[in-house]
Amino acid sequence: MTGKQHSCDKNIVPDSTDVPGLKKAKQGNHEIYTIPPCLEEWTNEPLYLVVARWGLLQKRWINRNDITAAFNISERRASFQLSYISSNKLRVACRTRYVKTKSSRRHRVEVFVDYVFSYQKEESVLEQPCRRNAQAAPVTRTSRGVGSGMTGNTGLWEQLLKGCREGREHE
């Protein structure tokens, strides 16, 4: 593969073999992956975002086999990347479909990436400003809305039971 090899660290650190672009992993449980040459400017982003940008450039449905071939990673790790892409809606806009394989009854996931949102270090739109010296709303008891809905006849059940019990006493 003509791309540069990387691992999951955010910083590009040359290896002892002086291979430019090789990133060292901070954790021992991450394997090295290869980034295609067209994506070198995004090497500091997490792998799932690099894969999403690659999928955006492909302009077609991609599956784990495509990711395995392009990034030189295992099929299991490629499946994880598809899962991250499809579940992280704040960073990636994509469509997901399930395709039945010919050899077995299982379904494979395919993703079509529509857009990758760039990261903003500024305040997020979702964050609410902190209110100081604000009074909390008083806690009130709320009705759960369970029951027959008869608000005026709260003792009706007890009256019916009392009538039945009195009827048994006379027998």
In this prediction, residue 33 has a pLDDT band, given cuts at 50, 70 and 90, of confident
Angle between the N-to-C axes of helices 47-58 and 75-87, in degrees from 0 to 180, rounded to the nearest 10:
80
Decide if pLDDT at 12 tops 60. no
Instruction: Report the CATH fold assignment for 4-116.
Output: Arc Repressor Mutant, subunit A (1.10.10)
In this prediction, residue 164 has a pLDDT band, given cuts at 50, 70 and 90, of confident
Model confidence, pTM: 0.57
Q: Where are the domains of the chain?
A: 4-116
What percent of the chain is modeled with pLDDT above 90? 25
Decide if pLDDT at 121 tops 70. no
C-alpha to C-alpha distance for 110 and 98, rounded to whole angstroms = 6
